[in-house]
Structure 1
Amino acid sequence: MKTIAFFIPFYYFGGVERVTDTVTAELVRRNACKVVLISPHYDQMSRMRAEAVGYDFVPLEIAPDQRITSRQTSLNVAKILRQKNIDVLVMAVNALGYLDEMRETVGRSLTLMYHIHGMPLWEVTAKIDFGRMMARKKSRWAYWKWSLLKGSKERFFQVYTKRYVKMYRHVYDSVDRMLVLCDSYCEELSKILNIPVESEEFKVRSAYNPMDLTEFKVAAATVKRKEVVYVGRLSYDDKRVDRLIRIWGRVEKQYPDWRLKIVGDGNEYSSLKSMALDMGLEHIEFCGYSENPEVHYATASILCLTSSHEGWGMVLAEAMASGVVPMAFDCSLGVRELLGSGRGVLVRPFDEEEYARQLSALMESEDDRARYRALYPEYVERFSVSEVAKNWMRILDI
């Protein structure tokens, strides 16, 4: 039986952790392999959760100022891999550095995999968004200065893109597999790395994020109300819920029997509530964070995302599984793959007027919503824990 190790830099309770835990629990349930979790950053609650999932949890000792990509970190990981007789190491989110030396240090056959949990080159978008956010917090002048000096470097010369393409190529040459969230991202990485998908040397494979469909199927069977819902983090630089509130301002008076529910929390919570109040919106409800979003999916008819970028948009798949029609800006290949082929409403980025028009059309037509819903039961089965676990077993060769 193979022993698989997952390396997660920050093991708390985010999306990466939930996805990895769900896959691991199913592999353990099937007795398909032994599973080890290696992480330098965690808390006691997350460690207890890891042990309940079925991991052999191994804390990674690193100095406070030690980088994940440092040589010492890789040597520390190699020591664990050797002690635990690891056959496959899956690195989530961030790839370790010095991979060739780490492989040599382990001194036995070792398969290395890098699992990208966002869209390819997500690091470029994250770097730009973080820089923009920090500049905006300082002052309007700092924001304009950043836009002219830093933002223009990427806009005109693709400085960050070139840097991360080089990093991706280095990692690609050092690992046995790269994993992405969907088939569209396989094709995108093919272009980034300049390696044809059909080539024998192409190492990229897709692995969907899994969902436990049980509760969502219950939500799909309920009678839907005239509700539009947003589910997710309330943050400016990626989710841009302010766009949704402006869009709602365009349609609310036309549909006084409809309601918008904002389910989530984040640093924009107060400013978004103030924005809705200043606009005089009456049919909007801020529900806060929910551990059980299926409660809100159960009554909603439409889910709206207005993000600037989404690696996958798990809530779009959750909505479909719950019989809720999703719509979003066409902001990534992942979103396009989910909502394409008539499964949802894709809107040209970032045209709020067009979004409002298409939202109105969807609110008007129960027949259209029913037509969308009829497509979902068969489609979402590919995201079931069972199907995703089978794919992982093929990828891990277990």
Structure 2
Amino acid sequence: MNILFLMKYYSLGGVEMVTNVLASRFLDNGCRVSIVSFIEPSNEILCRKDSRIIYYLLSGFNTSKKNIDQLRNILIEEKIDIVINQWGLPYVPIYVLKKASKGLSLKIFSVHHNSPKTNGRLKDIEIAMSETNNKFCALILCMKKVLTYYVTSYSMWYVYQKSDKYILLSDSYIREFLSFTRVKKATKLVVITNPITIPYIEEYEKILSYKRKEIIYVGRIDYNQKRVYRVIEVWKLLEKKYPDWKLIIIGDGEEKSKLEEQSFQLGLKRIVFEGFKNPLEYYKYASLLILTSEYEGFPLVIPEGMAWGVVPCVYGSYSAVYDIVKDDVNGIIIEPQKDEFDAENMAERMSLLMCDNVRLKLMAKAAKQMSNQYSLDVVSDSWYKLFV
């Protein structure tokens, strides 16, 4: 079986890491795998790419005849049976793919890696609307939001119509997808989660022996989605009460320097900004993981941390998190209060674990057990059932 992953870009991100892990597994099982991206890749992701994967670069993110011809040549040369379109929202990839594959016998599976009902563009407009006091600007932004909503909805509907199957990351996203796109029947919808992309060990007792009094945040540092300033607000309520604990921020982004300044102004002493690092060593030693995103698709940091016995403390702003985290069993979920994040509630719930090591260990064990559902074996088997 010959498989091609179609990417908008190929850089160091969650979708790309998932692609690399799945590609290597498919290769191990005798498939031939290619990756094609529209935009030039980063050196970091190329260094992490399995050397057996064949990589191709198209000529920019557009619907040009040159791109169509290039992709068609690749499909024919590699004798592609299945294309996994990793960008199930934009119009460009599926349009180019359908033109390039005309007359060829192959299947197209498109994947949407986020919550269907929101995205970065819509959230940017909402943020701008909340910050303006100008009635005219507010009106323009409202119109822009409506237009963006319908363009996004149509684009997602178009990709669905042109695909053989459309993959969502959670059962809860099916209803959101149908409502957002106004697709009448869910005959093409399939739910397959993303797999854990990091190595881990199975022995829970050994994992337990590594643990320190550390809380970690892992991910991009931005305002639109991740809202890491909320993590700082929670830590401000915990630091003095728990002098033997510390908070480690692993990640980078446009808000990093601002949050470092915020932490300094608040007089926080036991907070460390590590920048962009491989999170594996941090999962190994951490006891708690905190995630306060405004929206997500399927944040891999949660099951990957759970695989290392890290108890997740998360903001329940998106439905998929309730698939992964069972509140007070294998983690903590703070539900929105009038669509707002409650830092005090998060701090109180985390505090109950930080002062009760027995309970913390029980939840860590349950988290470890839950992570088995997202192993590469389980997820790749789901893909093979789809291929057949």
TM-score of the aligned structures, taking structure 2 as reference length: 0.86
**Shift of residue 357, structure 1, vs aligned partner:** 1.8
Moved more, 48-57 or 111-120: 48-57
Q: For residue 17 of structure 1, what is the aligned residue in structure 2?
A: 16
Other-structure match for 1:323: 309
Where has structure 1 moved over 6 Å in runs of 4 or more?
none
Tell me what 1:153 maps to.
143
Alignment equivalent of 2:251, drawn from 249, 264, 269: 264
Q: Deviations over 1:49-108 (max 9, x none)?
A: 48734222233235xxxx4355664454234323432222221124525369626x6312
1:320 and 1:355 mapped to 2: Cα distance? 19
**Structure 1 residue 325 displacement after superposition:** 0.8
Indicate if the aligned counterparts of 2:117 and 2:176 stay in contact, CA closer than 8 A: no
- Contact conserved, 1:68 with 1:97, CA < 8 A, in 2? no
CA distance in 1, matches of 2:42, 2:306: 35
**Residues 47 and 247 (structure 1 numbering): CA distance in 2 closer, same or farther, change over 3 Å?**
closer
The 8 Å contact of residues 114 and 178 in structure 1, kept in 2 or not, is answered as: yes
8 Å Cα contact 1:220-1:321 kept in structure 2: no
- Over aligned residues, Cα RMSD in angstroms? 2.9
Which region of structure 1 is more displaced relative to structure 2, 143-152 or 184-193? Answer: 143-152
Q: Report Cα offsets for 1:24-48 as digits up to 9, x if no partner.
A: 10111111x2222222323484685
Aligned AA (1:343) = N
Find the aligned partners of 1:178 and 1:169 in 2 and give their Cα distance: 10
Structure-2 change in CA distance of 1:55 and 1:223 (3 Å): closer
Q: Which blocks of at least 5 consecutive residues in structure 1 are unaligned?
A: none
Contact 2:112 2:167 in 1 (8 A): yes
Identity over the aligned pairs, expressed in percent? 28
SS in 2 for 1:287: strand
1:248 is matched with 235
| 1:236-385 paired onto structure 2 within 5 Å | 236-291=223-278, 293-340=279-326, 342-349=329-336, 350-385=341-376
SS of the counterpart of 2:116? coil
**Structure 2: distance between partners of 1:327 and 1:44:** 32
**Distance of 1:259 and 1:48 partners within structure 2:** 34
Given the alignment of the two structures, is residue 120 of structure 1 paired with residue 116 of structure 2, yes or no?
yes
Could you list the runs of 5+ residues in structure 2 that have no partner in the other structure? Answer: none
For the residue of structure 2 that corresponds to 1:4, the secondary structure is strand
TM-score, normalization by structure 1: 0.84
CA distance 1:101–1:23, shift in 2 (3 Å) = closer
What's the CA shift for 1:272?
Answer: 1.0
Task: Judge conservation of contact 2:216–2:286 (CA < 8 Å) in 1.
Answer: yes
Alpha-carbon offset, residue 146 of structure 1: 9.0
Per mean C-alpha deviation after superposition, the further-off stretch among 250-259 and 52-61 is 52-61
Aligned length in residues: 377
Residue aligning to 2:40 = 42
Letter in 1 for 2:255: E
